[in-house]
């Protein structure tokens, strides 16, 4: 998945279908998650440049959903992100 496709998937997960000023905010949120994954030791060149691994992609999408879903499910999406990080930490992503 290219970076552009990841941004588009994140916008879809946030139920954002129009192009407007919030696109840059979604991009910053995706960049935040990629930086967080790099922080925990995920190999940037192998897993983060053009992510194909479902755990990496779902980590990004879960965090975006948690960030934009300020309702009764916010905590569940954030817990999903944190659980996915735990799975990634236990895997061979270095």
Give residue-wise pLDDT tens across range 14-26: 887 777 888 899 9
pLDDT in tens, 35-51: 999 999 999 999 999 99
DSSP state, residue 46? I
Q: What percent of the chain has pLDDT over 70?
A: 100
CB 59 within 8 A of CB 84: yes
The pLDDT value recorded for residue 10 is: 95
pTM: 0.88
**Which H or E run includes 59?**
helix 54-68
Contacts of 51 (CB under 8 A, 6+ apart): 1, 6, 57, 60
pLDDT for residue 71 is more than 90: no
């Amino acid at each position: 998945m290219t970076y552009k496709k990841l941004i588009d998937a994140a916008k879809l997960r946030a139920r954002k279908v129009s192009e407007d000023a919030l696109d840059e905010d979604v991009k910053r949120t995706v960049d935040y998650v990629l930086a967080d994954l790099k922080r925990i030791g995920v190999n940037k060149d192998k897993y983060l440049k053009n992510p194909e691994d479902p755990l990496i992609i779902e980590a990004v999408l879960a965090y975006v959903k948690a960030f934009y879903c300020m309702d009764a499910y916010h905590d569940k999406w954030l817990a999903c992100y944190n659980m996915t990080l735990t799975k990634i930490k236990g895997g061979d992503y270095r």
